[in-house]
Structure 1
Amino acid sequence: MSINNIFPKNFWWGAATSGPQSEGDFNKKNKSVFDYWYEVEPEAFFDNVGPKVASNFYNSYKEDIAMISEIGLNSLRTSIQWTRLIKDFETAEVDEDGVKFYNNVIDEIIKKGMIPIINLHHFDLPVELYEKYGGWESKHVVDLFVKFAKVAFDLYSDRVKYWTTFNEPIVVVEGQYLYEFHYPKVVDGKKAMQVLYNLNLASAKAIKAFRDGGYNKDDGKIGIILNLTPAYPRDKNNEEDLKASKIADDFFNNSFLDPSVKGEFPKNLVKLLEEEKVIWESTEEELEIIKNNTIDFLGVNYYQPRRVKAKEYEFDYSRGWMPDKYFDNYEMPGRRMNPYRGWEIYPEAIYDIAINVRDNYNNIPWYISENGMGVEGEEKYINSEGYIEDDYRIEFIKEHLVNLHKAIEEGANCFGYHMWTPIDCWSWSNAYKNRYGFIAVDLNTQKKTIKKSGKWIKEVSKNNGF
C-alpha cells in the first residue's frame, strides 16, 4: 500500500468531545444553562432527549477511553464542566467528586498513551450565574470564570500540558443573543457585542492567570478553539459582495481570531460598531490584558463555509440592530450538501483557513480541533458483522485531509487533526439526531461499537497518513 499523504512527525490524530455532551449529570451538584433549558422545555430537544445520561461517560470513562485508544488515537480533547468541578461559584470551592472524576479521566487518558487536551468552557455556563448576573453579559462572571480556571490549572497542570479556554465562543454570542438557538434565546445586538467582548476578556484573563501561575514553565501551553467559517462572496469580482464577505468575516471569525492571536479587535469592526452605537464597554486596562495575553496555539473547528452576497433585502429593524444588516446569506447553485445537517460540504475551505492563518496570523501553531459529518439514521448502514459501514464519513475525512496536507506542504503550521467526535455524543437541541462518532452508542443499552471509520482511522494514525 502506498501512502501519498504523509503528515508531519508527532502529528496529533485524535478526536474531541465535551463534558456536557458525554458525561451525563450523575453526581453533578449544579446545573448549566442546558440542564436548566431541558428541565423547562424538553420538547425543544430532538426526541425529548436531554443531557441527563448523554453517553454515560461519567460511569464508563475507563471502557470508553480504552476503546478510543483501541482505534489508534494519540490525543483526546474533552472539557471540565464548571458545574461539576466547582461547588460554590463565588469562592471557587471545589466539589470533591468532580475533582476525583477529572483526575481519573486525565490519568486514564495518559495511561492509554494519549495526550489530554482540556477545555474549560463548552457552552455550559452555570445557570445560577445567568440568573444572578446575566451570565456573560457580566464582567463579574468573567472574574468567576478566571477563578474556576485557576482551580483547574492548580489541580491538573502537572499532567495536562495543553489547555484551551473556550470552545466556539462566537456560538454563545449567536445562539444566546442573536439567532435564538440556545437558551435563553435573547435577541439583542448590543448585549451580543458586550458578550463577545467579555468572552474575549475572559479568555485573555484566564491566559494571564495561567502564565502568572507558572503553569507554562514545564512546557504547558494554552490556546482557544474557534469555529472558523470562511465567508465566501457570491462573486469575488463584485465589490459589494466582497465588502459583505469582509464584514461577515470580521463578525463571525476575526472578532475572536484577531484578539486571540494579535491581541486586538479588527479595526473595521470596532469602527462599524461605534457608528451603530452598539460598541461594548471596555477599559484601557482590559484592552491591555487582551493585548498582552494572546494564545500559544489555536484550535480550529471547521464544518462548513459561509456564503454571502451584498444586501438585497431591506433590513428589518423590528428586532434592533443585527450583523445581518450588512449582508444576505447566499445559496450557491450546485453546492454539495450534507442533507441531514443542512450544511454545505466544502473541503477546500480547510486549505483556505490554513493559508489565512499562515499568512495573516503569524503562522501560529494550530490544529484542526473538530471536523466531522453528522448523519441521521446510521443504523441502516449496519452490516452482517454488526457494525456501521460509514464509508461516507471516511470519504469526508479523506477529502478534508487531502486539502489540509496540501496546505502543510505549503508551510501551514498545523500539528494535528481531531474528528468530532470519538463516541456518538449528545448535541444540544439536536440531542442524538445526527451521529458523528468513530464509535456508535446504542442509547437503550449504552453498548458501544466501533464503526468502519474507527477501524480506518487506526490505520491512518499508524501510518501517519493514507
Structure 2
Amino acid sequence: MTKILWGGATSASQYEGGYENRGIDTQDCRPYSPKTEDATVATRLLTEEVIQEAKRKDGRHYYPFRKGSMGYEHWEEDIALLGDLGLDVYRLSISWTRIFPKGNDEFPSEAGLQYYDRIFHSLKNQGIKIFLTMNHYAVPLHLVESYGGWLNRQMIDDYLRLAEIIFERWGDLIDYYLPFNEINAGYFSPYNGVGLIKNGTNPYAYQDIFLSLHHQFVASAKTIQMGREKGVKGKFGAMISCFCYYAHTSRPEDNLRLVEDEQINQWFCMDILSRGEYPYYMEPFFKKHRVDLNISEEDTKVLRAYTCDFVSFSYYSSSISSVSESNQQTAGNLVATTKNQYLEASEWGWQIDPIGLKTTALKAYDRYQKPIMIAENGLGAKDTLVDGQVHDPYRIEYFKRHFEQLKEAEAMGVPVLAYLAWGIIDIVSAGSCEMDKRYGVVYVDADNQGKGSYRRIKKDSYYWYQQYIAMQKEGE
C-alpha cells in the first residue's frame, strides 16, 4: 500500500491577487458583502447588473478576489513556508486569464507563463509534488460575455488551448492534474461552477446548467486524451464536492431521498468522469426537467475512452436527507442541509463530522475502485492574532480527528493517495468572499476589506502539522 501524501491546497482566484497583471474573470466580479444570513448565497448568484457594476472602475464595492492573499507578491516566501512545513504535495491552480487575458487570445502572456515557471520550479526545488487544478471556478469574463462561456461548445476548444500550453510547458514537472475543481458545483452553484450569469430573479434553467456541465465533461476527457497522447508523466483525476448524506429518520421515504440526493448531488458527475458514461438515473431526471443534451457519438466515445486515473473529493461536513421541509436548516459547502443534533458546528454552521470523511472514502472506493485523494478538507474559523501569535487548538483538534478517520479508511484497504488541507495559507473564502473565515496554518494579516500588512505568521497548527508530517515520514 502506498503511503498517504500529506499536503495543502489553494486556488489562484482566492490566493494570487495580482489583478493588474491579468485579465478579468468571473470570480473578480464577486463583491464582498457584510456578513448576513444570505451573504454566501448572494455572492454566487450574479446577475448581468452585478457584472456591469464590477466592470466599472469607480465601482462602489470591494472585490476581494482581485487581491486574494497577495500571493502574486508573496509566492517565494509562501513556498519556503510550505517547504519548511514538510509538505509532500501542494495543490494549486492556474489563473486562466494570467495565461490568456481574454481566454482566447492569439498568443499567451509570456509574463504569466514565467510567473508559473518560477512557482513550479521552486516547488520542485523544495521537493514538493505538484497537484495542478487546471480550472478552479474562475472563467475568463470575455468568454462568458462573448458567447456564454461553458454554455457554448466553443469553450471546449478554448480550454484545450490552455491545456496544451500547460502540457507543453510544464508536463515534466506536474505530478497530478485535475481538469475541473468540484465539477458538481455547476449544479449547485452555476455561476461558480460553469460561469452562468443569472437572469434577474428567475431560477437557472436546467437545460443551461446540464449542457454547460456536459461541455466540461467532454473537455475533461479530451484533456486526458491530449495529456496521454503527449506522454505527460502526471496522473489525471476528477473531483466532486461530497456531503456524506444520512437519512433524517428510519422512514423509508427519508432513506429513498438519501439515495436520490447522493445520486444527483454527489455521484452523477463522478459516475461520468470515472466510469465513462451517463448513469441510468439521469434519464428520468432529464425527462422530468426537460433537459435535452443531444449527445454526439464522438462525445460518447471520448467520455468512455478517457476516464480519470484517480477519484478526488472535497469534504467539510455531512448532510441530512429528509422529505420534510420543516426541519431546522444549517449551512454547508455549496448547499444548506438539515441540522444534525448529534454534531457540533463551526461558526459558519458547517457541521463537524470526522467519521463522515471515513464513510465518504469507503463509499467512493466501493463505487469506483480507483485510488482516492482528499483534495480539500479543513476548518474555517475566525482566528485571532494576539501579540504576534495565533493559537488555534480547535483546528489542531479538527485535524487530529479527521486524520484518525482517514488512517482507519486506509487500514481497511482504501488506497488513499493524499490528504490536502484546504487554504493551507489563509485565503479569501470562496463561499462568503471574506478573510475572516480562515482555514490556513499560516495566518495572513488582512481583513475583509483588504486592509492589513499581509504579513505571514505561523499558527500553532503549523507547528503541529509540521510535526505530524515528520512523524509520518519517520514511520515509513
TM-score above 0.5 = yes
Deviation of 1:172 (Å):
3.1
Change (3 A) 1:361 1:92: farther
2:180 match: secondary structure: strand
Taking the aligned partners of 2:297 and 2:244, their CA distance within structure 1 comes to 31
Residue 6 of structure 2 is matched in structure 1 by 13
1:310 match: secondary structure: coil
Taking the aligned partners of 1:263 and 1:181, their CA distance within structure 2 comes to 21
Taking the aligned partners of 1:267 and 1:213, their CA distance within structure 2 comes to 33
| Mapping 1:212-223, distance limit 5 Å | 212-215=229-232, 219-223=233-237
Instruction: Please say if 1:188 is aligned against 2:205.
Output: yes
- Matched-pair contact (CA < 8 Å) for 1:258–1:264: yes
Residue 371 of structure 1 is matched in structure 2 by 377
2:454 match: secondary structure: coil
Instruction: Please say if 1:71 is aligned against 2:85.
Output: yes
Change (3 A) 1:67 1:152: same
Residue 356 of structure 1 is matched in structure 2 by 363
Match of 1:250 among 259, 263, 268: 263
Count of residue pairs the alignment pairs up: 432
Instruction: Please say if 1:99 is aligned against 2:113.
Output: yes
Change (3 A) 1:328 1:29: closer
Residue 48 of structure 2 is matched in structure 1 by none
Deviation of 1:164 (Å):
0.9
1:167 match: secondary structure: coil
Change (3 A) 1:97 1:383: same
- Matched-pair contact (CA < 8 Å) for 2:131–2:178: yes
Deviation of 1:180 (Å):
11
Structure 2 residue ranges without an equivalent (≥5): 32-50, 327-334, 447-451
1:333 match: secondary structure: coil
Normalized against structure 2, the TM-score is what?
A: 0.85
Counterpart of 2:238, as a letter, is I
Q: Deviations over 1:417-453 (max 9, x none)?
A: 1101221011234221301101000121111001000
Normalized against structure 1, the TM-score is what?
A: 0.87
Instruction: Please say if 1:200 is aligned against 2:231.
Output: no
2:341 match: secondary structure: coil
Deviation of 1:389 (Å):
0.9
- Matched-pair contact (CA < 8 Å) for 2:133–2:181: yes
Counterpart of 2:230, as a letter, is G
Q: Deviations over 1:43-75 (max 9, x none)?
A: xx9x93522221111112111100111122121
Residue 440 of structure 2 is matched in structure 1 by 437
Deviation of 1:357 (Å):
2.1
Match of 1:25 among 18, 25, 34: 18
Counterpart of 1:196, as a letter, is L
| Mapping 1:47-196, distance limit 5 Å | 48-87=62-101, 89-90=103-104, 93-176=107-190, 184-186=197-199, 187-196=204-213
Greater Cα shift, 189-198 or 60-69: 189-198
Taking the aligned partners of 1:181 and 1:335, their CA distance within structure 2 comes to 32
Taking the aligned partners of 2:311 and 2:194, their CA distance within structure 1 comes to 26
Counterpart of 1:337, as a letter, is A
Residue 3 of structure 1 is matched in structure 2 by none
Greater Cα shift, 205-214 or 401-410: 205-214
Identity of aligned residues (%): 26
Deviation of 1:11 (Å):
2.4
Taking the aligned partners of 2:414 and 2:194, their CA distance within structure 1 comes to 34
Taking the aligned partners of 2:23 and 2:395, their CA distance within structure 1 comes to 36
Deviation of 1:27 (Å):
4.4
2:361 match: secondary structure: helix
Change (3 A) 1:92 1:19: farther
Instruction: Please say if 1:239 is aligned against 2:239.
Output: no
Counterpart of 2:65, as a letter, is P
Counterpart of 2:279, as a letter, is P
2:189 match: secondary structure: helix
Taking the aligned partners of 2:225 and 2:426, their CA distance within structure 1 comes to 35
2:211 match: secondary structure: helix
Counterpart of 1:294, as a letter, is T
Taking the aligned partners of 1:88 and 1:21, their CA distance within structure 2 comes to 19
Taking the aligned partners of 1:88 and 1:279, their CA distance within structure 2 comes to 30
Taking the aligned partners of 2:194 and 2:223, their CA distance within structure 1 comes to 27
- Matched-pair contact (CA < 8 Å) for 2:68–2:428: yes
Taking the aligned partners of 1:394 and 1:408, their CA distance within structure 2 comes to 21
Taking the aligned partners of 2:342 and 2:209, their CA distance within structure 1 comes to 34
Counterpart of 2:29, as a letter, is Y
Instruction: Please say if 1:341 is aligned against 2:343.
Output: no
Residue 300 of structure 1 is matched in structure 2 by 313
CA RMSD of aligned residues (A): 2.5
Structure 1 residue ranges without an equivalent (≥5): 1-7, 314-326
Counterpart of 1:354, as a letter, is A
Change (3 A) 1:185 1:450: farther
Q: Deviations over 1:72-128 (max 9, x none)?
A: 212111011111012453366210001000000000111111111111111101011
